[in-house]
Amino acid sequence: GEAEEAAPVFQYAGKAAKRKDRVFVWGFCYSGALGVPSFVKPDVGWKKPRRIQSTPYRLETEEKISSAACGYGFTLLSSKTTDITKVWGMGLNKDSQLGFQRSIRDRTKGYEYVLEPSPIPLPLEKPQQTRVLQVSCGRAHSLILTDSEGVFTMGNNSYGQCGRTVVEDETYSESHLIHQLKEFDSRVVQVVCGQDHSLFRTKKGAVYACGWGADGQTGLGHYNITSVPTKLRGDIAGVNIIQISSYGDCCLAVSDEGDVFGWGNSEYLQLASVTETTQVNVPRHLPFKIGKVKEAACGGTGNIVLTEEGNVFVWGYGILGKGPNLIETAVPEMIPPSLFGCSDFNPDIRVAHIRCGLSQFAALTNRGELFVWGKNLRGCLGTGRMEDQYFPWRVTVPGEVVDVACGVDHMVSMVKSFT
């Protein structure tokens, strides 16, 4: 009526209101890997420390985070900014996997644990031009990929995983040493940390490795350590590799033609489709008949791939995502798309990305939903419950999940707000 016509109109959002970029963390808190100091050291006297954050918790960051990586008890976050500070780290720092974090109380000492995202200064030649593209974290070392100054490595180098000569009796704690790697056949476009080894993928489609090799995870044809990044051959020689993955001691690579190659540990049937041996030290083609593979991810005992058609396949050992009855398989089994929300009502839902932690899996759909399954070590699944999850389960995140990084007992996600 007239009263309604005359009523004022409120504006809560303008047409140009932009969606905000956010970071959410969850899992084990005491290592500091979640970056929320009050979880470990409550700011109010009567509050108790929080051991586990079982649902996504918003982490305030200064910059838009474009890459995140979860190591064993620590986290790296990076931004593509041209500002001086491009990488932040939090969590365990006993091996200087977060670089030297100067203590405030004693400026000659470094922190063993970092409780909030702290800048990691990089020895860049052009700090106001060079951008950090991606970060990766292993058991006790980190890799930082830049667009024009190669790869920077930090942390434990007992096995040459940082790509530099192993120094006997080197002390890794409170170390300022950050090493730079530039000797590859072309620009490095992806870096991956396994437990104690490192993989590098170049623009030309080659794969390099260094570090611990006792399970053949360096794929260089031997079981020794390697301290200089060396190009892999075997079944991937001359093949254009477009993606690599590792987190434990097994490695997978995907070619531009959609083929999958694997090497490293096979104690859990990861490579049993081609060999009975439990260690494979040269890349082998895995002859799966599941369609063209787009993306692969390796966990500690289980593997997962995503095909061009949007189907998800799992194999290996552990909680694989098809109920408690499927504990192990050498041959990939498909996870029914209905578990990711695909139905008659919603026929266009597809899994867009898959990720692996040490004993858990994650899948991101084209609608920005995050599904997780596997062992729920210290609440790392983020479901709000403490039970293991035997099939894909939605994690409630207040936003569209753009990417997720999985660790041993924590996860970090990059999210865009809805409006």
Partner 1 sequence: QGVQGSPFAGPKKRAWTGVSLPTTNHAAREGGMRRDLKIGAGHRLDVKASGVFVLGIGDGNKLLTDLYNCHLTKVYTVGGLFGKATDDFSDTGKLVEKTTFDHITREKLERILAVIQGTNHKALLMHSNIDMKTQEAYELAVKGLIRPMGKSPPIITAIRCLQFTLPEFQLEIQCLHETQQYLRKIVHEIGLELKSSAVCTQVRRIRDGVFTLDDALLRTQWNLQSIQNAIWDCQLKVKTEIEKTLGHQDKSHLHKMDAEMAQTADS
Residues lying near partner 1 in the complex (CB under 8 A): 3-4, 7-17, 322-325, 336, 338-339, 341, 343, 345-346, 367-369, 387-391, 393-394, 396, 398, 400, 418-419
Residue type, 16: A
For residue 4, the minimal CB distance to partner 1 (Å) is 5
Q: Which is nearer to partner 1, 125 or 348 (CB)?
A: 348
Q: Please give the structure tokens belonging to residue 58.
A: 């918003």
HEC string of 319-375?
Answer: CCCCCCCCCEEEEEEEECHHHHCCCCCCCCCCEEEEEECCCEEEEEECCCCEEEEEC
Q: Which is nearer to partner 1, 197 or 353 (CB)?
A: 353
Burial of 10 (0-12, 13-18, 19+ CB in 10 A): exposed
Contact present, 400 and 416 (Cβ < 8 Å): yes
For residue 8, the minimal CB distance to partner 1 (Å) is 7
For residue 392, the minimal CB distance to partner 1 (Å) is 9
For residue 419, the minimal CB distance to partner 1 (Å) is 6
Q: Which is nearer to partner 1, 187 or 367 (CB)?
A: 367
Task: Encode burial over 406-415: b for 16+ CB neighbours within 10 A, e otherwise.
Answer: bbbbbbbbbb
For residue 39, the minimal CB distance to partner 1 (Å) is 24
For residue 399, the minimal CB distance to partner 1 (Å) is 9
Strands 370-374 vs 389-395: parallel, antiparallel or unpaired: antiparallel
Q: What is the largest CA-CA distance in the chain?
A: 86
For residue 329, the minimal CB distance to partner 1 (Å) is 15
Angle in degrees, CA 153, 299, 252, rounded to 5:
75
Query: Torsion angle, CA of 155/159/165/170, rounded to 10 degrees?
Result: 60
116: left (phi > 0), else alpha (psi -120 to 50), else beta? Answer: beta
Give the residue from 33, 80, 73 showing the smallest Cα distance to 57: 33
Q: Which is nearer to partner 1, 189 or 370 (CB)?
A: 370
Q: Which is nearer to partner 1, 7 or 44 (CB)?
A: 7
Q: Which is nearer to partner 1, 100 or 317 (CB)?
A: 317
Q: Which is nearer to partner 1, 127 or 368 (CB)?
A: 368
For residue 182, the minimal CB distance to partner 1 (Å) is 43
Q: Which residues, listed in sequence order, are joined to residue 88 by a DSSP beta bridge?
A: 77, 119
Q: Which is nearer to partner 1, 74 or 317 (CB)?
A: 317
Q: Which residue has the tokens 């590792």?
A: 246
